[in-house]
Amino acid sequence: MPVRPGAQDPRTSPSDVRRPWWHRGRNPGANIYGIVVACSLLAGIEHLGVPVTRLGAYVFLTILLYWLAHAYADVLGHRPADTHLTVSTAERVVQALGDQWGVVGGTAVMLAVLSISKFSGASQNTSINLALWAGAIELFIWGAIAGRTAGLSGRAVTFYAFTSGALGVLIIVLKSIV
């Protein structure tokens, strides 16, 4: 995501400790990506009748695989800008895994909602719907964070937030239609 002229790129900022919590994430887009994938998985495999605990485990393991694949593709797709620097492939992989951790970390709340609601006695359908709505809310929040991280403000941040949240709502709507 391009950074507005005059805004500091959060990937290169040495002062992460002094920044607000919503600026500390290296890649809010990774969180959005992980949540969209997890919501899609939940909505898509709900009809199989798999118990919620196994469903949550399947989603988590799939997200882990997406994280590894996403980081690996990031390393393969980005050649170091300074070819005279000797950065090992292993160091680049570790950096990419850290940069893309949001793919996994972004799904923690919705998977927690899925598990807690089921263990609290909610039906499978209710647990999945609650997790999907938690994901939609998270998408809204991470959209706003992505906008702020990009150095945007006002209407642009609102647009980012509502566009991201709309992805979650669209998944919920599609789940109810199909």
Judge whether 69 lies within some domain.
yes
User: Does residue 154 fall inside a structural domain?
Assistant: no
Alpha-carbon dihedral of residues 87, 88, 91, 92, nearest 10 degrees?
80
pLDDT tens digits, residue range 27-73? 899 999 999 999 999 999 888 888 998 999 999 999 999 999 988 88
How many domains, the chain?
1
Give the predicted TM-score (pTM) of the model. Answer: 0.80
Backbone angles phi, psi at 96, to 5 degrees: -65, -40
Residues 130, 138: Cα–Cα separation, whole Å: 12
Domain coverage including residue 132: 25-136
**Rounded CA separation 5/2 (Å):** 9
Residue 74 within any structural domain of the chain: yes
Contact, 2 vs 77, CB < 8 A? no
Domain assignment of residue 53, yes or no: yes
**Residues constituting the chain:** 178
pLDDT value at 8 more than 70: no
